[in-house]
Amino acid sequence: MSRAAAARPPRARSTDEKESPWNDVFGIGFLMVACLLLLALISYDPRDMPSWSFLALSESSGEVTHNFVGRVGALMAGHMLWLMGYAAYLLPFSMTWFGVCKLHSKIRVTRAAWLGVAIMIISGAALLEVQNLLTERDHFTPLGGSGGLGFVIGGTLLKHLLGKAGATLLLGTAYMGGLFLVTGQHPLSVIQNIRAEITRWKTEREAQRLIAEKLAEEAASTVPGTLTPVPEGLRKKKKDKSGEIRGDTPVATGPATNMELPLQFEPPPPKIIDSSVSRAHDDRSDKPKLAEVWEKKRAQKIEQAPHGSLGNLTKLFKDYKLPSMELLKWPEDTGRAPTNTSELLGIQATIVKALASFGITVEPGDITRGPAITRYEVRPVDGLRVSRIANLDADIARATRAERINILAPIPGKDTVGIELANSEKTIVPLRELLEDDVFVNGKAKLPVALGKDVYGKTIIGDLAIMPHLLVAGATGSGKSVCINSIVTSLICRFAPDELRFIMIDPKVVEMQSYEELPHLALPVVTDPKKALLALRWVVKEMENRYQIFAQEGCRNFETFNNRNRKRKAEADAARAARNAAAPAATKAGVDDASVSAAFAKEAAEEAAVPKTAEVGTVDGDTDLRDASGTWLGDSQAPAPRKQEVVIPDTMPYIVVIVDELADLMQTAPADIEVAIARITQMARAAGIHLIVATQTPRADVITGVIKANIPTRIAFQVSSALDSRVILDRKGAENLVGKGDMLYVPPGGAQPVRSQGALVTDDEIHALVEHCVAQGKPVFDVKVDDENGEFGDDDDMGEDGVSSEEQECLEKCLEVIRQEKKASTSLLQRRLRLGYGKAARMIDILEDRGIIGPGEGAKPREILVQMD
Residue 758 annotated in ligand binding? no
Distances (CA, A) of 659 to 24, 147, 734, 832: 68, 89, 22, 29
3-state SS, residue 689: strand
Give the CA-trace dihedral at 789, 791, 796, 799, to 10 degrees: -50
CB atoms within 10 A of CB 4: 7
Residue 479 annotated in ligand binding? yes
Query: How buried is 832 (Cβ within 10 angstroms: 0-12 exposed, 13-18 middle, 19+ buried)?
Result: middle
Distances (CA, A) of 383 to 56, 192, 360, 378: 59, 13, 11, 15
d(CA 196, CA 189): 10
**Could you tell me how far CA 773 lies from the centroid of its own chain?**
35
With DSSP H G I counted as helix, E B as strand and the rest as coil, what are the percentages for the chain, rounded to 5? 45, 15, 40
Residue 480 annotated in ligand binding? yes
Within 8 A by CB and 6+ apart from 753, the residues are: 716, 729, 731, 733, 744, 745, 746
d(CA 364, CA 377): 6
Query: How buried is 734 (Cβ within 10 angstroms: 0-12 exposed, 13-18 middle, 19+ buried)?
Result: buried
Residue 477 annotated in ligand binding? yes
3-state SS, residue 626: strand
Residue-wise burial string across 567-586, b where 16 or more C-beta atoms lie within 10 A, e elsewhere:
eeeeeeeeeeeeeeeeeeee
Distances (CA, A) of 342 to 207, 230, 375, 377, 546: 8, 22, 15, 16, 61
Residue 309 annotated in ligand binding? no
Residue 476 annotated in ligand binding? yes
347 torsion bin: left (phi>0), alpha (psi -120 to 50), beta (else):
alpha
Closest listed residue to residue 346, CA positions, set 314, 374, 372, 311: 374
3-state SS, residue 109: coil
Query: DSSP alpha helices (H): ranges in 186-326?
Result: 187-222, 290-304, 311-316
Residue 14 annotated in ligand binding? no
Binding residues: 474-481
Give binding residues for ATP as ranges. Answer: 474-481
